[in-house]
Amino acid sequence: MATVPARGLNPAGAMGADFGGEELSAHRSAVRIGGVSLAINGEAGDVALHPGLDNFKISANACDIEILVQWCEVMPAPPGRKIFYSGGVWTLYENDFYYVFDCETLPLGDEPYKRLFVNKNFSNGELLLNRKTVWPSKQTCPLEYPLDELLVTNWLSLRGAVEVHGCGLLDHETGGHLFVGNSGAGKSTTTELWRSHRKAGVLSDDRVILRAQGPDIWMHGTPWHGEVALASPECAKISRIFVLEHGAENEIEPLPPARAVGELFARCFPPFYSRQGLESVLAFLQHIALSVPCYLFRFVPDESAVEKVLNFQG
């Protein structure tokens, strides 16, 4: 069971901040995403979860991931060695005890605008907001993208679960279908087709969390949506997985498990910097490939693609 944040994860001496001796603030917000509960705790009412998480809000005293938010005046060099650069706004450092995610971008200066200290099982962290670069406003959203997604996906990857690029659709007759694909593969198109022709429920049009539940694989909606902007906190059992590709005609080709693992891996968010996390993700993808029929689906973007899947006897 998770507890409230353990103060002191951030080395106060190095940061020039005081994290000891105070009781947890009442300024707390929590969400549940893919079955993972995540809370932020602020010292004052000036931090909040961003509106995109509203549908995922919960009330919980203890969450799987607890984050304490603090402000700092100075952001010194990160403690630890650099182990990964995302190519985007964040860089990862580590030492023997915790990870440090630095978020920085040139338009905001040469210091990180925020820094997340998190323990190595991603259950507890402290987030520093840099007063120099985080512009004052009534409420700041400290877990704005990508930190919320990083926390959840890293937590999941250590516990036999994974987030994939895919649209999760729930058909009222044929059950849950997961269509995975990278950008441009047709997730939004597929989502729109199934909505308009089957009135299918949509868990997400872009990113879905996969978890085992007994012998079955379930998919969970996430707030990190795509172009269709559909994000549901619901979940559904997966009956079939289709890897999307554009084609000249509709074709469905069964994927052997080894190939399915490779195709799923290329469409998920693995923690490249963690051997344990990578092994866990690969093992789970293998479990998925052996548990759920997986297919390559070359499709044309019209109603016939929906009919092809509905009539397919795999």
Partner 1 sequence: MEGEPRDSEQKKPYEPPRLVAVSLRPEEAVLGHCKTMRGGGPSTSCAAVGTCHSLGS
Stretch that binds partner 1, among 26-34, 119-127, 193-201, 258-266 (CB under 8 A): 258-266
Distance CA 258, CA 181 (A): 18
Return the sign of the alpha-carbon dihedral for residues 40, 71, 271, 265. positive
79 touches partner 1 (CB under 8 A) = no
Place of tokens 């049009």: 205
The phi and psi torsions of 192 (rounded to 5 degrees) equal -65, -40
**Binding of partner 1 at residue 239 (CB under 8 A)?**
no
By CB under 8 A, is residue 185 in contact with partner 1?
Answer: yes
Q: Which amino acid is residue 304, in one-letter code? A: S
Q: Are 109 and 102 in contact (CB under 8 A)?
A: no
Q: Is 226 in the site for partner 1 (CB under 8 A)?
A: yes
**Residues 186-205: x where in contact with partner 1 by CB under 8 A, - otherwise, as a string:** xxxx----------------
Concatenated DSSP letters of 94-149: E-SSEEEEEE--GGG-SS-SEEEEEETTSSEEEEEEETTTS---S-B-TTTTTHHH
Rule CB under 8 A: choose which of 86, 119, 174, 239 binds partner 1. Answer: 86
Query: Residue 198 in 3-state DSSP?
Result: helix
In whole angstroms, how close is the CB of 263 to partner 1 at the nearest point? 6
Q: Of 250, 254, 262, which is closest to residue 306 (Cα–Cα)?
A: 250
For residue 172, the minimal CB distance to partner 1 (Å) is: 24
Binding partner 1 by CB under 8 A: which of 150, 161, 200, 235?
150
37 binds partner 1 (CB under 8 A): no
Which run of H or of E encompasses 311?
Answer: helix 303-311
Q: Which is nearer to partner 1, 185 or 200 (by Cβ)?
A: 185
Q: Which stretch binds partner 1 (CB under 8 A): 10-18, 58-66, 68-76, 136-144?
A: 136-144
- Cβ atoms within 10 Å of 20's Cβ, excluding its own: 8
H or E segment to which residue 314 belongs: none
Beta pairing class for 65-72 and 36-42: parallel
How many of the chain's residues bind partner 1 (CB under 8 A)?
Answer: 53
Show the binding pattern over residues 48-67: x = contacts partner 1 (CB under 8 A), - = does not: --x-x---------------
Which residue in 184, 254, 301, 314 binds partner 1 (CB under 8 A)?
184
Among residues 26, 44, 106, 248, the one that binds partner 1 under rule CB under 8 A:
106
Q: Is 262 in the site for partner 1 (CB under 8 A)?
A: yes
Interface residue with partner 1 among 265, 282, 286, 291 (CB under 8 A) is: 265
The candidate with the shortest Cα–Cα distance to 48, out of 63, 36, 32, 31, is 31
Quick one: which of 79, 145, 160, 251 contacts partner 1 (CB under 8 A)? Answer: 145
User: What is the SS3 assignment for 93?
Assistant: strand
The Cα–Cα gap between 237 and 186 comes to 22
Note the residue count of the chain. 314
| Shortest distance in whole angstroms from residue 149 CB to partner 1 | 5
Residue 90 as a binder of partner 1 (CB under 8 A): the answer is yes
- 115 binds partner 1 per the rule CB under 8 A: no
Tell me which residues touch partner 1 (CB under 8 A): 50, 52, 86-90, 103, 105-108, 113-114, 129, 133-135, 137, 140-141, 144-146, 149-150, 153, 165, 181-189, 206, 224-227, 229, 259, 262-263, 265-270, 272
